Amino acid sequence: MTNKQLKWQLPFLAFLIIGTILILRKQAPYQTDQGLIFGTVYKITYQSDKNLKEDIENELRKVDHSLSPFNKKSTITAINNNTDLTADSMFVQVFNLSKAISEETKGAFDITVAPLVNAWGFGFKHSAFPDSTQIDSLRQLIGIGKINLTNGKITKADPRMTLDCSAVAKGYGVDCVARLLDRKGVKNYMIEIGGELVTKGENASMQPWRIGINKPVDDSLAVNQELQTILEVSNVGMATSGNYRNYYYKDGKKYAHTIDPRTGYPVQHNILSSTVIAQDCATADAYATAFMVLGLDSARIICDAHPELDAYFIYSDEKGRMQTYHTDGMKKYIRN
């Protein structure tokens, strides 16, 4: 390159650099809002000139007023109390999704499992440790096929049946906030509620969002943050379910919070952690729970039948060693 050519190109390069800096400075900043909802923590990072926390929390309150069994004025509480009302659109959407996934998983996912979850001490009502007679009795109240939703009206085969959407509500709440940000024209965001999340676009470093999957080590206080792997994800919903944080011991035996609706007992399968990626977080949330109930072999069959789902399982082999399995589609997200 001659000196003459270099002298001509230097001003051009300087112009490009200055122009790039000015463009970057004009871009909207990334903001982070966080707080409490559904008895857990939410954290939302998004690129916007305006702070949207008030709008975000208004949206989350709508979900809470529809789906939280801890909210005495919620739609689901009224339905559990057999109050005559017309269900709101959020409840209808979650009920229909839950029913479809329950049918697909042959009852492994079922939002009528609340009486059993409560009986084992993991729900919105606490009970003494159940015996087999009590479990057999409660099983008569389980089965979403025993509940009908028509024009917003719920009818139950037995008025004692209760609903608990905890295994899908966080994911649905994430989706509701994502739709809000989409309406606001936000192009880049990560929304996380209690470990369930949706990402879109890029992070502040103009890179895909990086999400860690924790090693499933018994950790009821959630202090262990050792990672099993890291995923790079954008424009998808992701949820993880595991039995390594919500459990207790009685008479030397571990009882985990995932209850099999079909048997009435906590699951004893080999899956330690189930991570699912789907087009929306509510679907990912529900399937992550269902796979914990189904066990690895049955979960793989479901994944094979649904190529739109990707999954990453951490499980214990026959010798008690920690192993992993993931669908072929998950490979594009894994970074280590």
Of 128-132, 259-263, 285-289, minimum mean pLDDT range: 128-132
Span 189-215, average pLDDT: 94
Residue 123 has pLDDT above 80, yes or no: no
State the Cα–Cα distance between residues 103 and 305, nearest whole angstrom: 14
Model pLDDT, residue 257: 63
Residue 19 has pLDDT above 50, yes or no: no
Confidence class of residue 233 from pLDDT cuts 50, 70 and 90? Answer: very high
Beta bridge partners of 153: 150
Span 107-121, average pLDDT: 89
Residue 254 has pLDDT above 50, yes or no: no
Q: Give the residue carrying structure tokens 């739109």.
A: 308
Span 192-203, average pLDDT: 95
Greater pLDDT, 223 or 70:
70
Confidence class of residue 23 from pLDDT cuts 50, 70 and 90? Answer: very low
**Amino acid identity for residue 54 in this structure:** E
State the Cα–Cα distance between residues 296 and 298, nearest whole angstrom: 6
Model pLDDT, residue 224: 55
Residue 21 has pLDDT above 50, yes or no: no
Domains and CATH numbers, the chain: 32-156 (3.10.520.10), 208-332 (3.10.520.10)
Span 39-45, average pLDDT: 93
State the Cα–Cα distance between residues 208 and 211, nearest whole angstrom: 10
Model pLDDT, residue 246: 46
Model pLDDT, residue 11: 54
Q: Tell me: the pLDDT tens digits for 51-108?
A: 999 999 999 999 999 999 989 999 999 999 999 999 999 999 999 999 999 999 999 9
Instruction: Please give the torsion angle defined by the CA atoms of residues 215, 217, 219 and 223, in that order, rounded to the nearest 10 degrees.
Output: -40
Rounded to two decimals, what is the model's pTM? 0.85
